[in-house]
Structure 1
């Protein structure tokens, strides 16, 4: 008798199973995959590029259609913003850059007149400007007081305009639309 035979208990006669035993396979909890289980299905193939291109073309056509409709519906006149400057000759010993006032124009209205002579834009001249050496008549001192004015929403339909201080076209100066859009309107008062 061997060592193994002496320690193994005798269990008696065990009946044979009626059918052969199968290996036990536990049911895994959700989210856990056993190493010997089937791999997950591959991701779905990407959509064909033709569909994306078709949607892109459709979006571009829709945007162009909306833009074209907006252009047809926009019947309002084009407007422009005009920078205006009033230079008033002054005397005295003032250095350039110092705040200044000029009684003839401080607080007055500066107007833009259309080709028909009607006012198409106006703005109030500020009460305080700043001294500039515009004409170099008394260098290094200032010889003018400069006031900056901004005109907004001026109709841009005319080829020529006039700009002046006050509401009378008689004392105004001529400007082209291009001048007003590019460089603004600079007028001199009292020189």
Structure 2
């Protein structure tokens, strides 16, 4: 047997081995390529899932924030309603208080009239105590600086007794309801 004949089966074996290795390499390359495609698909699916989760989280946070805002606004509305529910009733009481104060302005020397005046004073004091319990307070700015937020100027007069822009006469007291203006005080203001 010649050397060539001996090498032929050996070459054949080597060719078969090389062929099998090449097939295995090709199969591995195919598997790696498929694995890479699968990894890319999984990464894309993961990115989509993360984006959806972020959207859902954002939507949930917005819903919670909206609920808190609604709850806070409702609490503020309830508090305002509680504080200022008496506003119409208080406005109806103010002329009564004004009339009682006007009744006390005059001086009377008759004993019978003095008893009536004393009764009016006690009634006014009781009424003022009652309305104060509900947050109604008078604004009597005599001698104070003019404040357009709480005072309504009826006119201005020159005065040597008061500095400029000072309340020198109160025609009608103003009133606050829980620190909110119910009625401005009607005043005469000094001119400088």
Query: Is the TM-score greater than 0.5?
Result: no
Give the greater-gyration-radius structure (CA): 2
Decide which structure has greater helix share. 2
Highest RCO, 1 vs 2 (Cα 8 Å, sep ≥ 6): 1
Decide which structure has greater strand share. 1
